[in-house]
Amino acid sequence: MRPALPKVGIDRRRLCFRHIRFRVLTGVSVRDRFTFVWSLGYVWVAMVAFGGILVDSIVIYPNVFHDPPASLEGSMDFFLITGPADLFPPLGAATVIAGAVTLVLVWRTSARLWIGGSLLTLVLGEFLFSMLFFWPRNDIMFEEGIAVHSVEFLRETAAQFQAGHWVRLAMSGVTATLVLIGFLRYHRDRVIAATEQKKLVTA
């Protein structure tokens, strides 16, 4: 009789057992890891968006609105190549997508209320508010300008824009705070569940 040849290849049952054992001992699944990474990405994007609006408030807008309409025309020359309008629309869309996916991923956890709240303030307090309040005033100040409107009207519009901007900044801060709290709540529940599972295995 010929001697038995050694088995070559992957032992799928052993790999499957190792995967199950790893999941039981650590309490971590592929979905858990993906949810953690994606949720952390949502935190990062929301913080970047809030930081961008904060920089606008401190650095950009004082130069844009210090003497309208002359300062408005000067800012148009300064932002000739790129400006805030090139950054915030795609960043806002990315934040909404990240928030929606995060809400689906954490729906069965206690973090869903915080993530859902962050998505609500993001869509209503920032996106819709920007679309209804800021976009028409942007057209008035930067597209139509002095050729269409009086100096006094442009100054009033600039004052309204600045007042509304503080509301937008506050809503962005609320969004970022809710995202962070939701992520910490999800991570806490994740750690507690993994710890309890380890206790059951080692008991």
Dist CA 169 CA 56 (whole Å): 10
Of the listed ranges 18-22, 28-32, 167-171, 194-198, the one predicted with least confidence: 18-22
Give 1-47 pLDDT, tens digit per residue: 555 555 544 455 554 444 444 444 445 678 899 999 999 999 999 99
| Domain span including residue 31 | 12-202
Number of domains in the chain: 1
Query: Model-level pTM greater than 0.85?
Result: no
Contact 154, 75 (CB under 8 A): no
Contact 94, 38 (CB under 8 A): no
Higher pLDDT, 203 or 132: 132
In angstroms, the Cα distances linking 146 to 63, 141, 197 are 18, 8, 68
> Is 68 within a domain?
yes
Q: Which tokens go with 98? A: 């990240």
Q: Which tokens go with 23? A: 């999941």
Q: Which tokens go with 122? A: 């993001």
pLDDT of residue 106: 95
> Is 47 within a domain?
yes
pLDDT of residue 4: 54
> Is 7 within a domain?
no
How many C-beta atoms lie closer than 10 Å to residue 202's C-beta? 7
Give 58-107 pLDDT, tens digit per residue: 999 999 999 999 999 888 888 888 888 888 889 999 999 999 999 999 99
